[in-house]
């Protein structure tokens, strides 16, 4: 599907992969793009993208991606002012890393990963992205109905694309019981939604990035990156966000590619 002239939404757009994806879609002449994040960093990003284009194509929305009413507001605003959304990249995500079970070697007691942390990670990384995708599918379904269109046919061309942001941690990664669970969960959401949403001409895919030079990864600390990540990465460096954004663009534009794409830089979990 050509990006030029389409309407997009990116969550987690203030930094990292989300920010890089927004810049990449602007390069492909997207008509309008909603930048969603908790951080007010999206305001400056919107100004930057609008300067690049020479007119207003980026609209910042500061709020919680897990909030139902906020999500509805973003989609309704985009539809009323620009048209139905065609591209959804729900990139917002968090980590709450800790061992699943940690033994206190002095007391002999074991602490289990906090259930409230697990629920929060699931809410942000799995439920929220899925519902941003469902919102787009619903909007396009309503749009087709209003035009008297029924089941999509290939000669219409792709009508919409959802790109979920997975992770190499979906293979399992020490200390990421919640994060890894949510990222593999997106595979099930995407494959199921693809079977349903193709009725309206909508494709779904999951991009699994390796360790990327983002604030989330940098928060792990240089020592951890140098000892635990880079030795297991074939290119011996963190992936640049622009490289992941290019992969997102590829998945949107190439209709022959569905399912999952791994942009992992040759990373594999190291043995304990």
Nearby residues of 76 by Cβ (< 8 Å), 6 or more positions away = none
Sheet holding 32-37, edge to edge: 58-62, 32-37, 7-11, 87-90, 160-165, 202-209, 259-263
DSSP collapsed to 3 states, the chain: CCCCCCEEEEECCCCHHHHHHHHHHHHCCCCEEEEEECCCHHHHHHHHHHHHHCCCCEEEEECCCCCHHHHHHHHHHHHHHCCCCCEEEECCCCCCCECCEEECCCCCCEEECCHHHHHHHHHHHHHHHHHHHHHHHHHHHHHHHHCCCCCCCHHHCCCEEEEEECCHHHHCCCCEHHHHHHHHHHHHHHHHHHHHHHHHCEEEEEEEECCECCHHHHCCCHHHHHHHHHHHCCCCCCECHHHHHHHHHHHHHCCCCCEEEEECCCCCCCCC
- Residue 216 has a pLDDT of 82
Q: How far apart are CA 160 and CA 134, in angstroms?
A: 12
- Whole-model pTM: value is 0.93
pLDDT at position 231, please? 84
Q: CA 43 → CA 13, 34, 59, distances in Å? A: 10, 11, 8
Q: Are 30 and 8 in contact (CB under 8 A)?
A: yes
Phi/psi at 136 (nearest 5 deg)?
Answer: -65, -45
Length, in residues, of the chain: 272
**What pLDDT was estimated at residue 30?**
98
CATH of 7-263, one of 3.40.50.720, 3.30.70.20, 3.30.470.20, 3.40.640.10: 3.40.50.720
Hey, where are the domains in the chain?
Answer: 7-263
If phi > 0 it is left, if psi is from -120 to 50 it is alpha, else beta; for residue 217 that is alpha
Half-sphere exposure of 188 (CA within 13 A, CB side): 8
Q: What is the pLDDT of residue 258?
A: 78
29 to 2, 57, 84: CA distances (angstroms): 9, 9, 17
Instruction: Give the mean pLDDT per block of 10 residues along the chain (272 residues).
Output: 97 96 97 97 97 96 98 98 97 94 92 97 98 98 95 95 95 91 96 96 95 84 84 87 95 89 81 62
pLDDT at position 271 is 63
pLDDT, position 44:
97
Determine if residue 148 is left, alpha or beta; phi over 0 gives left, psi from -120 to 50 gives alpha, anything else beta. left
pLDDT of residue 72: 98
């Amino acid at each position: 599907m050509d990006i030029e002239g389409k309407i997009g939404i990116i969550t987690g757009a203030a930094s990292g992969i989300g920010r890089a994806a927004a810049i990449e879609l602007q390069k492909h002449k997207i008509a309008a793009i909603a930048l969603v994040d908790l951080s007010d960093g999206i305001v400056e990003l919107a100004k930057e993208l609008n300067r690049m284009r020479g007119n207003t194509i980026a609209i910042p929305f500061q709020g919680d991606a897990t909030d139902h009413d906020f999500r509805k507001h973003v989609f309704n605003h985009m539809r009323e002012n620009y048209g139905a959304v065609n591209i959804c990249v729900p990139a917002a995500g968090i980590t709450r890393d800790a061992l699943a079970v940690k033994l206190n070697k002095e007391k002999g007691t074991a602490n289990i990963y906090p259930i409230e942390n697990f629920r929060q990670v699931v809410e942000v990384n799995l439920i929220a992205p899925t519902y941003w995708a469902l919102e787009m599918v619903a909007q396009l379904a309503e749009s087709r109905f209003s035009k008297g269109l029924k089941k999509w046919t290939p000669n219409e061309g792709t009508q919409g694309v959802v790109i979920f942001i997975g992770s190499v941690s979906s293979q399992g990664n020490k200390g990421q019981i919640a994060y890894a669970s949510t990222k593999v969960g997106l595979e099930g959401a995407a494959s199921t939604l693809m079977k349903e949403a193709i009725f309206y001409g909508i494709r779904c895919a999951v991009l699994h990035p390796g360790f990327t030079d983002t604030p989330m990864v940098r928060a792990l600390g240089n020592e951890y990156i140098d000892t635990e990540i880079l030795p297991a990465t074939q290119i011996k460096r963190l992936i640049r966000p622009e490289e992941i954004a290019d992969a997102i663009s590829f998945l949107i534009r190439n209709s022959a590619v569905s399912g999952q794409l791994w942009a992992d830089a040759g990373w594999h979990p190291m043995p304990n």
